């Protein structure tokens, strides 16, 4: 059950250049929220920018949530400039969330860049619900863009750091790191990051017989299933079911449900 609430900003941190964390007081939303779900945040009081911005829940606390985001344009810039004690209109929780299953033998979280945003809440839930801290592949372009490492370690996760330039951890991509960790049948991979990374992660998981769930991000208008603007193509056959809504059918999908071959990566930035 989603809510629309005015939520007080409790804290705002610049965690890396152009990367921010905002903590919100939102008891009703937090109590209803599951890891992998998201909220739609209204960034401006006026009518421009017009649409809310979808933001993954980084952490879910008893009386609030935190979000982690990168400044990509005008809307996220305005959000980054909001100060503590101000209120934000928050709609949520929305979407399906990650599956949590105690029977899974090995949990492997793959976070690429700002795709780390929903992963701390996931790792925390895997510890508390499944009784098992996941292994986390934390990949970024360089050391200064590596986020949440300390949070994962505090939860008891084994963290495998990979950077494109080798400034910290292995000089490797998230996908190369995943191959090194040899996922196998019984492993469940959870991935969030750029679309090309997700496609490659899905291929590695599938070729090794591991399950794979991906959290997708697309442009949204309504955030809750009505406008059909945020769809991606699935492998479902029926005309009425072919396009799946990232907001309402996702944002988490079984990677085998997505028709990666038809996705036009040229539009992704």
Partner 1 sequence: MTAKLQVNLGGLVMKNPVTVASGTFGYGQEYDEYFDIAQLGAVTTKSLSLEPRPGNAPPRLVETPAGMLNAIGLQNVGLEDYLAAKAPFLREKNVPIIANVYGNSADEYAELARRLEQAGAADAIEANLSCPNVHDAQTARGPVLVAQVPKKVYEYTKTIRSATTLPLLIKLTPNVTDIREPAIAAEEAGADAVSLINTLLGMAIDPETRRPRLANIVGGLSGPAIRPVALKMVWDAVRALKIPVLGMGGICNASDAIQFLLAGATAVAIGSMTFRQPDAAVQIIEGIADYLARHHIGDVNDLVGRMQDEG
Hey, how many other C-beta atoms are within 10 angstroms of the C-beta on 81?
12
Contact call for residue 225 and partner 1 (CB under 8 A): yes
Contact call for residue 229 and partner 1 (CB under 8 A): yes
Residues 87-106 that bind partner 1 (CB under 8 A): 91
Contact call for residue 215 and partner 1 (CB under 8 A): no
Q: What angle do CA 51, 54, 23 make, to 5 degrees?
A: 115
List residues bridging with 138 in a β-sheet.
111, 161
Q: What angle do CA 236, 211, 119 make, to 5 degrees?
A: 100
Residue number with CB closer to partner 1 (14 or 72): 72
- The torsion of the CA quartet 49, 267, 108, 97, rounded to 10 degrees, works out to 40
CB of 248 to partner 1, least distance (A): 8
| Pair of tokens at residue 70 | 């990168």
Q: Are 169 and 157 in contact (CB under 8 A)?
A: no
Contact call for residue 201 and partner 1 (CB under 8 A): no
CB of 65 to partner 1, least distance (A): 19
The C-alpha atoms of residue 163 and residue 135 are separated, in whole angstroms, by 17
Contact call for residue 228 and partner 1 (CB under 8 A): yes
Q: Are 132 and 126 in contact (CB under 8 A)?
A: yes
Q: Which has the closest alpha carbon to 134: 57, 213, 224, 42? A: 213
CB of 12 to partner 1, least distance (A): 23
Residues 155-184 that bind partner 1 (CB under 8 A): none
Contact call for residue 226 and partner 1 (CB under 8 A): yes
Site string for partner 1, 45-84 (x = CB under 8 A): --xxxxxx----------------------x---------
Contact call for residue 224 and partner 1 (CB under 8 A): yes
Contact call for residue 230 and partner 1 (CB under 8 A): yes
Count of chain residues binding partner 1 (CB under 8 A): 40
Phi-psi label, residue 219: left if phi above 0, alpha if psi -120 to 50, beta otherwise? beta
Residue number with CB closer to partner 1 (106 or 263): 263
Binding site residues, partner 1, CB under 8 A: 1-2, 4, 42, 47-52, 75, 91, 218-233, 238-243, 248, 262, 264, 266-267, 269
């Amino acid at each position: 059950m989603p809510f629309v609430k005015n939520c007080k900003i409790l804290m705002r941190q610049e965690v890396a250049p152009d990367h921010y964390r905002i903590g919100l007081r939102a008891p009703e939303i937090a109590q209803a929220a599951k890891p992998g779900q998201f909220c739609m945040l209204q960034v401006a009081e006026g009518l421009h920018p017009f649409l809310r911005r979808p933001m993954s829940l980084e952490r879910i606390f008893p009386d609030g949530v935190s979000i982690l985001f990168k400044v990509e344009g005008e809307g996220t810039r305005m959000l980054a400039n909001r100060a503590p004690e101000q209120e934000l209109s928050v709609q949520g929780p929305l979407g399906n969330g990650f599956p949590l299953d105690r029977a899974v033998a090995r949990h492997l979280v793959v976070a690429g860049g700002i795709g780390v945003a929903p992963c701390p809440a996931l790792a925390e839930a895997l510890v508390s619900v499944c009784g098992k801290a996941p292994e986390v592949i934390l990949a970024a372009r360089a050391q200064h863009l590596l986020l949440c490492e300390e949070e994962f370690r505090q939860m008891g996760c084994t963290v495998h750091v990979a950077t494109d330039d080798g400034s910290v951890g292995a000089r490797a991509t998230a996908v190369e790191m995943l191959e090194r960790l040899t996922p196998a049948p019984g492993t469940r991979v959870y991935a969030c990051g750029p679309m090309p990374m997700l496609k490659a992660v899905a291929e590695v998981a599938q070729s090794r017989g591991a399950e794979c769930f991906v959290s997708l991000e697309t442009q949204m208008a309504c955030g809750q299933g009505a406008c059909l603007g945020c769809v991606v193509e699935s492998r479902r056959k029926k005309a009425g079911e072919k396009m799946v809504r990232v907001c309402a059918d996702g944002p988490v999908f079984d990677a085998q449900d997505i028709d990666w071959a038809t996705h036009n990566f040229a539009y992704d930035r």
